[in-house]
């Protein structure tokens, strides 16, 4: 259930440190039981608006997490939608900032390193994959797991055309060798390309090391063009 964060002061410390730009100052902060709203102004007089509420994604309901917070920055139409950040506050005191951050360094790999912790302290592979596909900055646009995510139904439910590539797809997979964890999964992202709707299917590789290092990479695996009034449908494998 969403609502205002339980400790707004702590949330504001993280927002000031990792979300706001250096010349951005808080002009107003208001909150009620449902959410909080932050207004800022920078040195050139530009105003920004942030909507802050408790995270209601599956990851936020896991036992290792004290609270997750969604920070949604309102953007004008030229930016193509609002900008999302997720703040995670673990039971052990760890903090994670995901999504577009001012420093450019997201905490997704630090979060993935929790896979080495005992059960109850580590994120589930699927919940972790959902967050990576949706918030990893290099993917530019949000993605959804092909088996279905908290935001969307599965790829095949939404786009039956994907049955042509079903044999190549699989659900989230985790391999743990003791000092290295490897997560593999597929996501899909609808994209309006010209007169037709295209669905970009991506394959993800997450390599997490016990020391907190590792890599998160993805490659475009297939493009589905959905048939419409002005275009024919097609499925194209890219790798």
What ranges do the domains of the chain cover? 1-106, 141-239
Q: Which residue has the tokens 């990893």?
A: 136
- Alpha-carbon Rg for the chain, nearest whole angstrom, is 19
SS3 at position 99: strand
Please give the Cα distance from 95 to 101 (Å, whole number): 14
- Going by C-alpha positions, the residue among 79, 6, 5 that lies closest to residue 37 is 5
Q: How is residue 161 written in tokens?
A: 């055309």
Q: What is the CB-side half-sphere exposure of residue 58 using CA atoms within 13 A?
A: 15
Please give the Cα distance from 1 to 78 (Å, whole number): 31
pLDDT of residue 4: 86
pLDDT of residue 79: 43
- Going by C-alpha positions, the residue among 120, 117, 114 that lies closest to residue 132 is 114
Asked if residue 102 has pLDDT above 80, the reply is no
Mean pLDDT (the chain) is: 88
The average pLDDT across 128-153 equals 88
User: Per-residue pLDDT tens for 22-47?
Assistant: 899 999 999 998 899 999 999 898 89
Out of 55-59, 75-79, 112-116, 155-159, which region has the weakest mean confidence (pLDDT)?
75-79
Helix (H) or strand (E) holding 217: strand 214-226
pLDDT of residue 206: 95
Please give the Cα distance from 62 to 18 (Å, whole number): 24
């Amino acid at each position: 259930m969403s609502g205002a964060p339980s400790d707004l002061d702590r949330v504001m410390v993280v927002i000031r440190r990792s979300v706001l730009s250096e010349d951005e100052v808080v002009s107003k902060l208001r909150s009620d039981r449902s959410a909080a709203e932050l207004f800022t102004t920078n040195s050139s007089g530009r105003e920004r608006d942030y909507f802050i509420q408790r995270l209601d994604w599956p990851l936020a309901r896991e036992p290792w997490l004290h609270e997750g917070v969604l920070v949604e920055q309102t953007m004008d139409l030229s930016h193509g939608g609002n900008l999302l950040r997720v703040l995670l506050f673990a039971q052990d005191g760890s903090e994670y900032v995901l999504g577009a951050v001012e420093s450019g360094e997201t905490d997704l790999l630090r979060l993935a390193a929790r896979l080495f912790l005992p059960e109850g302290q580590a994120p589930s592979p699927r919940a972790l994959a959902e967050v990576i596909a949706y918030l990893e900055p290099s993917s530019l646009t949000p993605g959804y797991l092909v088996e279905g995510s908290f935001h969307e139904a599965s790829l095949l439910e939404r786009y039956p055309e994907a049955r042509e590539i079903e044999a190549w797809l699989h659900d989230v997979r985790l391999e743990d060798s003791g000092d290295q964890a490897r997560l593999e999964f597929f996501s899909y992202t609808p994209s309006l390309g010209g007169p037709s709707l295209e669905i970009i299917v991506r394959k993800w590789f997450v390599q997490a090391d016990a020391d907190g290092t590792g890599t998160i990479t993805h490659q475009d695996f297939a493009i589905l063009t959905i048939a419409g009034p002005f275009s024919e449908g097609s499925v194209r494998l890219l790798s």
